């Protein structure tokens, strides 16, 4: 068969086989498998063995032999067979659940004093709730997967397009995707309805970027548009194995015995959508879980809150208390048992081991097991479920619905992407922030420029105003009448506008400057070809701003084809004349983080060949032709001036090329582009050959303004005791000026600057000896750190309330993070109110965050908006992503997302603080009420000869947590509020209570434990002593079940009233929950006591309620128990008040109208904004940082369809699950 012969030839050339390993063909024709021991796990999928993949287009038989993966995807955690075993395994990984399983097993043994069912039912209810949630989440995943897998796409069958489900697609199939549909797999782009073989795609579902990208098919495949022509396509694709790199692709297409190099430009990734193109034809390359987007669906690192970790310690403490109580009872039983107690029948010949006085060790051992089951309620079984439920509501109903954090301009709500870290927001002590797009808007505006040594632009930046503030000068930005403002352009200098540049000293250089801006880019124009109506789709806001600047200078870029760029040039030959000039684009040498530059080789209409290059000053200057030293020096000064003003700079240069030199270079370029191995490296090497001997044109300066409210937010957070560190890639002077502009640093602070730009260090670096440079740098950094540290300690000792600020650059930071210097850096940094790290890499951002998190053991929060902030966000205790201009990578990696930096004030000071206080009270209250219940049983043990006789009926203690005390504690966790939202922001110092962990210290737990001991003693002694002489209506003395039922009544009233004493706010919900819980108890006991006639509890409550003793005891015992609490709380409030209690007294009679209710979504929004808000409230994706029960993953597109609302698909719908449903544009 032809396909097999081709495969054999391909294998012999490349040694690449199927997914499992490398295949070959032996001399006898049998296949030989060579397995590779090393595999790398990427997401859920293991990549194929090293080598290359060979695909035969339009030949399913040939591809079937290799057995490529199918296109069906599954994002579910379980299936029908694995749900119960896997789900139960996940539940019993929790120590508490495992503990109650052990207790349930023990309750089946003869030593257990309680009925097994009373332990099994509560545990089963908790497990059922958790498994139900898991099943619901997985069912939604399954429904979403099913919807995606059954979406139809047109596949070529014979010479016709036939609708086929996505799940049935196979590698090598030819498919047709229409406008506004999503690509069903990773495709090789063959042809489109556009005559020039291009298509436009939107990658928002991969990286969050909404700007359109251009993709260009190989010219040899342009004709395969119709089904008749496409059926003739019989190409062979040799490409890399599946991997998770979204932005690279290496491969060749062998077509008609020609080898054509493939690049990412010809690949259409699953999850992207087709725009502004009728339809495209493509060949399937990667399918299902081998598509790049699915291989990127990796789980983020799991995060646990500090309170949760301390809760584990509290549970461990309760275990110790439980063991101590059991040990006391076991020793007591061994001592107590004696044959002298003849009436107990201990002298009989046949006696059970647990009562054998001749073997007291066995008696003690068995009694430990008995008492463990008896005292098991000391560990609250419903604690985790209650806490998860509270967190879930706090996240979904409070944080997600808060209009104070709703950004109407971008229609973006705050989003709690995990419910696990709410309380952590109330304890943050250090914030690590990116600058661009986080503190600033990332909306770039062309502000100034330098051309041929002449500076243009007269505006004043916010950073320059901040710099002026450093010297005590108050500078205000004036309103210029000549400034031209539009999105991306804010320039004020008439010398360059409306052709005035022709009168400048260097008009030819101005012309080259404008042409470089208009030609050297990858921007796509959209809309009408008119300056006022056109829209630009750019890879970055900077690039868009440069093209907009060229348009305003009279060089209007209005059209692009794969080979031509059209520019409408004004005033070039003479004033007023406008020419449409097509420039042929021969090569584009793209920007990347290594090259730090972008170049375009173009041909003028008159045949002139020019290379235009723009990039960072460091890489452009080293590639300039010798000479023109004066312009270089002047431009360097201008760059430094722009940098100190906080502007983002780029250098522009050009080079004229001879036809012969270009042809020779282009051959090498094509060769490098065709390489299957190290293609990127070879392309960079070839680019070096032509990007040299450049002529400097000038430089541009773009302003990125501060976000609204940033200075006030930082000032407020500083008052709250939060220390803010800015980690940026900007230059030192720029970073300092930005810090001044946003009030991070002021003149009242003692500043320490650790910089690698000193004369001594620069002199050593000029030698080029890397070993010597590294040693000298380390010594210099150590010396600077030591000096700064000593000065800081001395300053803090001599200056009361003095504040410090540290500024350090990336080079010095690299050496300061060395293990030998790390402690000194940490000590200095922790004493500073503000720290600015400039010129830092993404890795250094994560290292600094981890240093404070792990070494200083402080609660950290990292906030950023770009892919370079992901590692920092994941390294911190809490990660906050800003949904800005740099895509959604930061949001997808975050725990919480907001639209603006200023919303941190509400997120931390309001929601974080409330969540922390509420959850602390919930946890400590659970500890108190369960300890009180168990201690009453413990005191009873002393009166029963340590026999393990139970005091309560089995069902009393089993339903104690689940029904009788469960709802009030939920209300406490949801509605308790010490001060209003407005007062929380008005008095940010209140936040320090969370930083100091005021409400969940061992001291707080110890005080509650003392009250618990006191309350249990009061209830047990008062009830048992007073009941010793009490009689019922029939004249009979109270028995065990009468006393225990009365004690349980007193206990329920006491613990519920104690909860009300813990509340700062008592609402109708508190009254309903407490009253409802007590009512639930009485309904239960009436039914239970009246129905169950085979137990001593039968009719007990009715007999009790016929006596006056019952009512007197029920009234006096809770009063006697809670009197001590009342006195303690009164003394504490009057003489040792917390800060929030002082604020409460100060604003006692003020109405709370200034603070909007968090549950009230009504506001002053316009109808359009209200509709946007409603759409934004649709369920969203939950973070993978938590395994908690209520962090349900959102499927916004699914819920939108169910609710009948048309909502845009969110980026993480695909990036997390690669689960996209194709939709046609209505």
**Catalytic residue numbers, as ranges:** 434
Give dist(CA 399, CA 1154) in Å, integer: 18
Give dist(CA 106, CA 100) in Å, integer: 10
Phi, psi at 251, each rounded to 5°? 180, 170
What is the number of alpha carbons within 13 Å of residue 612 lying toward its C-beta? 27
Only one residue has tokens 């719908």, namely: 1213
8 Å CB contact between 703 and 447: yes
**727: closest CA among 788, 810, 804?**
810
Ordered DSSP codes for 200-218 = EEE-HHHH---SEEEEE--
Give dist(CA 423, CA 426) in Å, integer: 5
**975: closest CA among 1133, 1159, 705?**
1159
Give dist(CA 1160, CA 256) in Å, integer: 68
Contacts of 656 (CB under 8 A, 6+ apart): 608, 609, 610
Phi, psi at 1143, each rounded to 5°? -65, -40
**755: closest CA among 737, 728, 729, 777?**
777
8 Å CB contact between 960 and 121: no
Element (H, E) at 601: strand 597-603
Cα–chain center distance at 601: 41
Give dist(CA 317, CA 693) in Å, integer: 73
b (16+ CB within 10 A) / e for 682-691: bbbebbeebb
Alpha helix stretches (DSSP H) within 455-579: 462-470, 507-519, 541-552
Give dist(CA 724, CA 835) in Å, integer: 7
Kindly tell me the burial class for residue 1108, based on how many C-beta atoms sit within 10 Å of its own C-beta (0-12, 13-18, 19 or more).
exposed
Give dist(CA 345, CA 343) in Å, integer: 5
SS3 1055: helix
| Terminal CA-CA length for the chain | 47
* 723-727 and 834-838 strand pairing: parallel
8 Å CB contact between 652 and 700: yes
Q: In what order do the strands lie in the sheet with 236-240?
A: 52-56, 236-240, 251-255, 258-262
Kindly tell me the burial class for residue 573, based on how many C-beta atoms sit within 10 Å of its own C-beta (0-12, 13-18, 19 or more).
exposed
Q: How far is CA 639 from CA 69, 445, 549, 757, in A?
A: 53, 17, 18, 16
SS3 1162: coil
Give dist(CA 273, CA 201) in Å, integer: 6
Only one residue has tokens 């010129």, namely: 839
8 Å CB contact between 877 and 860: yes
**653: closest CA among 689, 687, 623?**
623
Using only C-alpha atoms, the chain has a radius of gyration, in whole angstroms, of 37
């Amino acid at each position: 068969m032809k396909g097999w012969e081709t495969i054999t030839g391909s294998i012999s050339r490349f040694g690449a086989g199927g997914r499992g390993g490398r295949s070959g063909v032996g001399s006898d024709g049998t296949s030989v498998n060579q397995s590779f021991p090393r595999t790398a796990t990427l997401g859920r999928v293991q990549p194929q063995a090293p080598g290359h993949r060979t695909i035969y287009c339009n030949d399913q038989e040939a591809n079937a032999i290799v057995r490529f993966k199918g296109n069906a995807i599954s994002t579910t955690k379980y299936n029908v067979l694995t749900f119960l075993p896997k789900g139960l395994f996940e539940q019993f990984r929790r120590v508490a659940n495992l503990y109650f399983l052990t207790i349930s097993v023990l309750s089946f043994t003869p030593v257990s004093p309680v009925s097994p069912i009373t332990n099994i039912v509560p545990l089963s209810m908790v497990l059922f709730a958790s498994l139900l949630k898991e099943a619901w989440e997985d069912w939604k995943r399954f429904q979403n997967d099913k919807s995606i897998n059954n979406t139809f796409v047109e596949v070529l069958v014979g010479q016709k397009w036939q609708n086929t489900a996505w799940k049935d697609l196979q590698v090598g199939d030819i498919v047709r995707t229409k406008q506004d549909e999503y690509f069903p797999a990773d495709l090789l782009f063959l042809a489109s309805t556009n005559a020039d073989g291009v298509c436009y795609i939107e990658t928002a579902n991969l990286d969050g970027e909404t700007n359109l990208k251009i993709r260009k098919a190989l010219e040899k495949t342009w004709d395969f548009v119709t089904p008749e022509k496409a059926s003739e396509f019989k190409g062979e694709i040799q490409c890399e194995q599946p991997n998770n790199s979204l932005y690279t692709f290496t491969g060749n297409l062998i077509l008609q015995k020609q080898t054509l190099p493939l690049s990412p430009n010809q690949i259409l990734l699953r999850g992207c959508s087709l725009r502004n193109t009728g339809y495209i034809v493509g060949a399937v390359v990667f399918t299902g879980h081998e598509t790049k987007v699915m291989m990127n669906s990796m789980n983020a690192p799991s995060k646990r809150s500090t309170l949760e970790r301390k809760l584990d310690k509290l549970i461990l403490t309760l275990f110790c208390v439980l063991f101590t109580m059991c040990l006391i009872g076991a020793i007591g039983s061994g001592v107590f048992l004696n044959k002298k107690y003849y009436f107990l029948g201990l002298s009989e010949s046949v006696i059970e081991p647990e009562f054998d006085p001749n073997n007291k060790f066995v008696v003690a051992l068995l009694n430990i097991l008995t008492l463990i089951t008896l005292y098991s309620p000391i560990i609250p079984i419903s604690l985790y479920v209650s806490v998860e439920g509270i967190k879930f509501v706090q996240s979904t109903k409070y944080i997600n619905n808060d209009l104070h954090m709703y950004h109407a301009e971008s229609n973006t709500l705050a989003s709690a992407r995990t419910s696990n870290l709410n309380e952590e927001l109330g304890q943050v002590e250090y914030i690590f922030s990116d600058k661009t797009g986080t503190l600033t808007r990332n909306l770039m505006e062309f502000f100034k420029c330098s051309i041929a040594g002449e500076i243009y632009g007269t505006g004043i930046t916010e950073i320059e105003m901040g710099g002026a503030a450093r010297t005590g000068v108050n500078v205000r930005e004036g309103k210029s009448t000549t400034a031209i403002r539009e999105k991306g352009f804010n320039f004020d200098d008439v010398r360059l506008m409306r052709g005035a540049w022709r009168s400048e000293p260097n008009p030819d250089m101005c012309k080259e400057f404008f042409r470089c801006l208009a030609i050297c880019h990858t921007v796509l124009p959209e809309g009408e070809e008119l300056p006022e109506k056109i829209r630009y789709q750019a890879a970055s806001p900077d690039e868009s701003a440069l093209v907009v600047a060229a348009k305003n200078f009279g060089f209007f870029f209005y059209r692009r084809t794969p080979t031509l760029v059209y520019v409408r040039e004004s005033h070039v030959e003479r004033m007023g004349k406008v020419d449409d000039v097509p420039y042929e684009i021969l090569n584009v040498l793209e920007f990347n983080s290594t090259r730090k530059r972008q170049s375009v080789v173009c041909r003028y209409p008159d045949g002139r060949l020019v290379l235009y290059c723009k990039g960072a000053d460091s890489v452009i200057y080293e590639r300039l032709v010798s000479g023109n030293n004066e312009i270089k020096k002047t431009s360097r000064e201008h760059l430094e001036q722009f940098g100190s003003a906080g502007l983002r700079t780029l250098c522009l240069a050009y080079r004229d090329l001879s036809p012969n030199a270009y042809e020779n270079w282009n051959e090498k370029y094509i060769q490098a582009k065709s390489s299957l191995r190290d293609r990127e490296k070879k392309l960079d090497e070839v680019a070096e050959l032509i990007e040299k001997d450049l002529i400097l044109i000038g430089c541009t300066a773009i302003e990125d303004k501060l976000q609204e409210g940033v200075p006030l937010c930082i000032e407020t957070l500083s008052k709250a005791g939060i220390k803010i560190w800015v980690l940026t890639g900007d230059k030192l002077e720029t970073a300092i000026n930005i810090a001044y502009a946003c009030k991070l640093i002021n003149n009242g602070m003692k500043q320490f600057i650790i910089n690698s730009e000193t004369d001594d260090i620069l002199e050593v670096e000029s030698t080029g000896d890397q070993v010597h440079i590294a040693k000298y740098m380390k010594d210099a950094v150590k010396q600077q750190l030591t000096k700064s540290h000593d000065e800081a300690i001395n300053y803090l000792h001599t200056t009361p309330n003095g504040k410090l600020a540290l500024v350090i650059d990336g080079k010095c930071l690299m050496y300061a993070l060395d293990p030998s210097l790390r402690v000194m850096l940490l000590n200095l940094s922790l004493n500073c109110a503000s720290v600015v790290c400039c010129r830092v890499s993404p890795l250094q951002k994560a290292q600094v965050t981890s240093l404070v998190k792990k070494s200083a053991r402080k609660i950290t929060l990292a906030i950023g908006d770009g892919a370079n902030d992901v590692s920092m966000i994941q390294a911190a205790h809490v990660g906050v992503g800003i949904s800005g201009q740099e895509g959604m990578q930061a949001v997808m990696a975050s725990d919480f997302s907001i639209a603006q930096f200023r919303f941190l004030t509400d997120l931390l000071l309001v929601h974080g603080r409330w969540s922390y206080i509420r959850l602390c009270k919930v946890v400590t209250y659970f500890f108190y009420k369960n300890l009180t219940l168990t201690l009453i049983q413990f005191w009873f043990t002393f009166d029963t000869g340590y026999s393990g006789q139970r005091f309560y009926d089995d069902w009393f203690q089993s339903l104690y947590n689940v029904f009788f005390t469960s709802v009030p504690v939920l209300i406490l966790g949801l509605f308790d509020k010490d001060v209003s939202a407005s007062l929380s922001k008005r008095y940010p110092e209140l936040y320090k209570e969370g930083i100091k962990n005021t409400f969940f210290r061992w001291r707080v737990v110890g005080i509650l434990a003392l009250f618990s001991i006191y309350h249990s003693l009061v209830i047990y002694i008062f009830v048992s002593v007073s009941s010793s002489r009490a009689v019922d209506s029939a004249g009979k003395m109270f028995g065990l079940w009468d006393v225990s039922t009365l004690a349980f009544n007193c206990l329920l009233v006491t613990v519920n009233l104690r909860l009300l004493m813990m509340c700062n706010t008592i609402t109708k919900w508190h009254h309903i929950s407490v009253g409802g819980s007590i009512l639930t108890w009485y309904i239960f006991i009436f039914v239970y006591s009246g129905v169950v006639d085979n137990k001593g509890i039968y009719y007990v409550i009715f007999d009790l309620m016929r006596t006056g003793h019952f009512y007197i005891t029920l009234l006096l015992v809770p009063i006697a128990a809670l009197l001590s609490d009342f006195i303690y709380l009164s003394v504490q409030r009057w003489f040792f008040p917390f800060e929030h209690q002082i604020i409460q007294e100060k604003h006692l009679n003020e109405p709370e109208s200034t603070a909007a209710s968090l549950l009230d979504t009504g506001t002053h929004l316009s109808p359009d904004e209200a509709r946007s808000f409603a759409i934004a409230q649709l369920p969203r994706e939950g973070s993978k940082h938590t395994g908690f029960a209520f962090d349900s993953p959102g499927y916004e597109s699914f819920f939108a369809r169910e609710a009948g609302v048309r909502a845009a698909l969110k980026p993480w719908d695909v990036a997390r699950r690669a689960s996209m449903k194709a939709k046609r544009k209505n």
